[in-house]
Structure 1
C-alpha cells in the first residue's frame, strides 16, 4: 500500500477549543488509511474575517495516508460532522474545523477540492504550526513553511501565541 504525506490544519473556538482540537487529532489516527506522523504545538489565534467571535485554538498535523485526496477530504468532513460542525456562517465560530492544506504537493483545482489550500500561505495560524514541525515543507509555489511563517509574523507579530506542546 503506497502512502503519501498530507498536511491537515485543525481549529476550534467553541466548547473547550483545546479539547476539541486534541480530540480531533486523536480521531485522525482512527481513520482507516491515515496515520499521524507529526503534531504541532497548539496556538491561540485571533479570528480572521468575522472578528466578533472567540479566539481560536489551532494546530497542524502531518499524516501519511493511503487515501486519495478526495477520500481524505471526505473523511475529514465526516469527522467534522461527527463532532457537530455546522457550516452556516463563513469564517464563523466552529466546534471543529479540519482543512486539507496539502496532499503530496499536488495541485488540484476542482469544484469541491482546491490544493494547496488557496489561502493557507496567507494564514499565520497554518504556517506557524506547520513551520514548527516541517520548516522546509513547501506549499505550492509560495515557498517553505518557515519562510512563509516568518513573513506573516513580521507583518503581524502577535498573530499566534503558543499555548501548549501536545505533550503538555
Structure 2
C-alpha cells in the first residue's frame, strides 16, 4: 500500500460540504482507506487573489492504486462535485492536489509529485503538519513541520475540527 497525502480546497458555494463530500468519495475509492483528515483552515486565495476565501484541509490515505489510477479517481471526484477549470488558480468548488506519494518523485505531464508549490504554501503545510508533521519531503529532505516553520502563517486560520 502506498501513502498518499492530499490537499483539498474549496471557495465556491458550501465549501465545507464540498470538502466533506470529497473526503467521503476518497474513502469510497477502490483499494483505498483514509488514515487521517486535518482540521479545516480558512485562507485568502493564493496566486489569483480577487476571489473568495478558501477552506482547505489535508488527507492521508493509503491505497493499492497506482499514482495515475489514484489521480484519475480524484479528478473524477472533482468533476462529480462540480469542478470546472475556467482559469488557472481561479475559483472552484473543489480542488484535490496530490502532495506526496510515499518517497516518490514523479514528473509526468499530468502528475508532479511532490507537488511543486507545496513548500511555498502555508495553507497546504499547516493542515498537512497537523496529520503528517514528521513526514520527510523527498526532495527537500526536511520534515513537514520544519518546512512549515520556514513560512509565515498569518492568514491561515483554523476554522474547525473535521
Measured in 2, the distance between the counterparts of 1:159 and 1:122 equals: 14
Q: Do the aligned partners of 1:13 and 1:95 also contact (CA within 8 Å) in 2? A: yes
CA distance in 1, matches of 2:146, 2:156: 16
| Divergent runs of 4+, >6 A | none
CA contact 1:121–1:139 (8 Å) conserved in 2: no
> Equivalent residue for 2:151?
152
* Partner residue in 2 for 1:95: 93
Question: Residue 65 in 1 paired to residue 57 in 2?
Answer: no
Over residues 58-79 of structure 1, what are the superposed CA-to-partner deviations in whole Å (9 max), with x where a residue is unaligned?
0001000000001101100000
Q: CA deviation at 1:141?
A: 2.2
Paired with 1:96 and 1:89, the residues of 2 have a C-alpha distance of 14
Normalised by the length of structure 1, the TM-score is 0.93
Cα distance per residue 1:69-127 (max 9 Å; x no partner): 01101100000010110011100000000011111110011111111111111111111
Alignment match, 2:121: 123
The superposition leaves residues 22-68 of structure 1 with CA deviations (integer Å, 9 ceiling, x where unpaired) of: 11111110111111001101000111111000000000010000000
Q: CA RMSD in A?
A: 0.9
Partner in structure 1 of residue 32 of structure 2: 34
* TM-score, structure 2 as length reference: 0.96
How far did 1:134 drift? Answer: 1.2
Aligned length: 161
